[in-house]
Amino acid sequence: MIPIYRSPLPMPNHSDSKYHLAALFTVAVWGATFVSTKILIAHSLTPAEIFFMRFVLAYLCILPFARGRMWAQSLRDEALLLAAGICGGSIYFLTENIALEYAPASNVSLIVCTAPVWTALVLSIIDRNERMSRRQALGSALAFVGMVLVVLNGHFVLRLSPRGDLLAFCAAWLWMLYSLLIKKLGDRYPALFITRKVFFYGLLTILPWFAFRPFDVSWQTLAQPAVWGNLLFLGVIASMLCYLLWNAAMHRLGAVRTTNYIYINPLVTILTAAAFINERITLVALLGAALILYGMWHAERPGEQA
């Protein structure tokens, strides 16, 4: 028997507004994780160690709420959940973070944030119900241009770095595949079940990495308030809560409308970086911010869907 989808959040069926707020809150938190990750790296943690610990925390926090079904209804669905754990978890984070070792952060941020473009392109081919209207396409295009301006932040020279740029593209494509997988699975399983499985398979598939670069985080490091505080934020808020919200929004709003919120991610990142690590915001970035907000409003305002 196929279970009826029930959101883990008290969101009324008659309105999508709370799902939009859930997606907005999620990308706002994910944009702020830039600062937390930099702080942890400054305390000698590697990106793989950070990912592992945040997903362990997320998995432990979600377990008490994830009672009932432990496995998917079929091996095929279980394989799709494994793929989701890879595309939205282990390999996604590894490709994104390793890309930063070879390419400037502006390149990586810009390329990774093309995920909504790839998602819309693929879904327009395979699913007529997910095709954007002209108004939505224009709003998304404006938001994309704004995102570019925010990422560049007044510096209009991108240095090509084939290895890093290719890894960043892989991260964007992996997130696109994650969106497609969640869309497919969301019709058959609750968001709570899917999210728990994503954490489980994300953790499982990161383990081989530690055979080459062993996990080496001391208790003295973990005892520092800056370390455990940021790990709690990344694990409980940015992972457990935000993945739940994102997966629920993906089911309700669709993959294209939800992933469009990723354009806001760099805006939050640059604001957080300015507040906590004194990075400068230029007038060009502010113009980009205005374009992002206007584009998202234009795409979602009531109007002709043709």
| Of 158 and 130, the one with more pLDDT | 130
Distance (Å, rounded) from C-alpha 151 to C-alpha 184? 31
Asked if residues 243 and 195 have their Cβ atoms less than 8 Å apart, the reply is: yes
Burial zone of 259 (CB within 10 Å; 0-12 exposed, 13-18 middle, 19+ buried)? buried
Burial zone of 139 (CB within 10 Å; 0-12 exposed, 13-18 middle, 19+ buried)? buried
pLDDT tens-digit series, residues 205-248 = 999 999 999 999 999 999 999 999 999 999 999 999 999 999 99
| Domain segments of the chain as ranges | 17-212+220-300
The first and second tokens of residue 47, run together, are: 């990106």
User: What would you report as the CA-atom Rg of the chain, rounded to the nearest whole angstrom?
Assistant: 19
Distance (Å, rounded) from C-alpha 72 to C-alpha 69? 8
Asked if residues 236 and 57 have their Cβ atoms less than 8 Å apart, the reply is: yes
How confident is the model at residue 277, as a pLDDT? 60
pLDDT tens-digit series, residues 151-201 = 665 555 555 667 877 888 899 899 999 999 998 898 889 999 999 999 999
Cα–chain-centroid distance for residue 256?
14
DSSP 13: T
The first and second tokens of residue 243, run together, are: 């993945």
Asked if residues 54 and 217 have their Cβ atoms less than 8 Å apart, the reply is: no
Report pTM.
Answer: 0.80
Query: Is the pLDDT confidence value at 8 over 70?
Result: no
Query: Is the pLDDT confidence value at 14 over 50?
Result: no
Burial zone of 49 (CB within 10 Å; 0-12 exposed, 13-18 middle, 19+ buried)? buried
